[in-house]
Amino acid sequence: MKLVSFKNTKNESRIGWLQGDRVVDMQLASEKLPTDMLTFIDGHEGYFEIIKALGEVEPHYSLAEVQLLAPLPNPRSIRDYVGFEMHMLNASRSFGHSVGEAWYDLPIFYFTNHHNVFGPNDDIKKPVNETKLDIELEMACIIGKKGSDIKKEEAKDYIFGYTIFNDWTARALQRVEMTIPLGPHKGKDFANAFGPCIVTADEFEQYEVPFSENFFESPLKVPSVKDTRFDVKMTSRINGETICVGNYKTVHFSFSQMLERASENGVNIMPGDILGSGTVGWGSLTENNFTVHRPLEPGDMVELEIEGIGVLRNQVV
């Protein structure tokens, strides 16, 4: 099922699901269903039973009649990881340093701004005085239930679904801030875009494939943990020009490993938390030192596409 948040023809915020290019409004389908995604995720097991009992539901709107919002506009938290070795190698080279051996031992993350969340077709304001505005092509998973000290073998039970994540980045500002060993600061907290929908975990299982060393061509190292992967194409475009084509299956650390790491030491993972995969290799402009495309400027249209999810489109203003 592909779940969406949207504004209806009365400019009211609602949630629903897609049927092709049409939208079912949950509230119109049943008054027992909520109008916001976080409430739905909190009680999703019961709500899915209600939906199942409805049988076939006639869609209420065409996509053209509604305004899609970020599928989860108010996540409880956002952890962003660096899960792809190729991105790590490229970005490290761009910033003039090498990848530390510790990176290969554990998935690392930082907390980013869960209040500045943007959705499909939202404008992204370029930070003041920024000269190297960049994008990051990522997948994100949404947590569906509370847990702590979760083992990776159990982690899939905690994942509600998946969406596209654009971790907008002010590289010039980031370069200065990263000289201070505290992690990302204002270079990362101005815009986190998600969408166009959340694909539920059960529907996304069709893309799951067994681990293969063939996924990791030189210079990539073969991960020591051989989890399954999703074989889905990941593409970025700027003003209609293809910039990057990658695949999630090249990720070094799976979402299961990330969830295990996040929940260590009795830390509670909550429904509505988001984990970002990190940027797929070549999925940001800094990896080529902005040679494949200049830094982003107002008027540029960015499209991120992940097979099985859709296209997340935003314009810089």
Question: Which whole number is the average pLDDT over 194-201?
Answer: 98
Domain boundaries, the chain: 2-69, 77-316
Which are the contacts of 66, defined by CB distance < 8 A and separation ≥ 6?
6, 7, 8, 9, 23
Query: 303 pairs with which residues across the strands?
Result: 237, 313
Q: By C-alpha distance, which of 277, 290, 286 is closest to 250?
A: 277
Name residues whose C-beta falls within 8 Å of residue 22's C-beta, 6 or more positions apart in sequence: 59, 61, 62, 63
| Cross-strand pairs, 7 | 13, 67
Residue type, 206: Q
pTM of the model: 0.97
**Dist CA 295 CA 229 (whole Å):** 32
Q: What is the pLDDT of residues 272-314, one digit of tens each?
A: 999 999 999 999 999 999 999 999 999 999 999 999 999 999 9
Distance between CA atoms of residues 297 and 179, nearest Å: 25
pLDDT tens-digit readout, 220-244: 999 999 999 999 999 999 999 999 9
Contacts of 178-185 with CB under 8 Å at 24 or more apart are 178/95, 183/110, 184/110, 184/112
Nearest Cα to Cα of residue 246 among 220, 289, 281: 281
Query: pLDDT of 69-123, one tens digit each?
Result: 999 999 999 999 999 999 999 998 888 888 999 999 999 999 999 999 999 999 9
Give the chain's length. 317
b/e for 129-149, b at 16 or more Cβ within 10 A?
ebebbbbbbbbbbbbbeebee
Interatomic CA distance for residues 262 and 109, integer angstroms: 8
Decide: helix, strand or coil at residue 45: helix
As beta bridge partners, residue 244 has: 236
Pick the CATH number of 77-316 from 3.90.330.10, 3.40.50.1220, 3.40.50.261, 3.90.850.10: 3.90.850.10
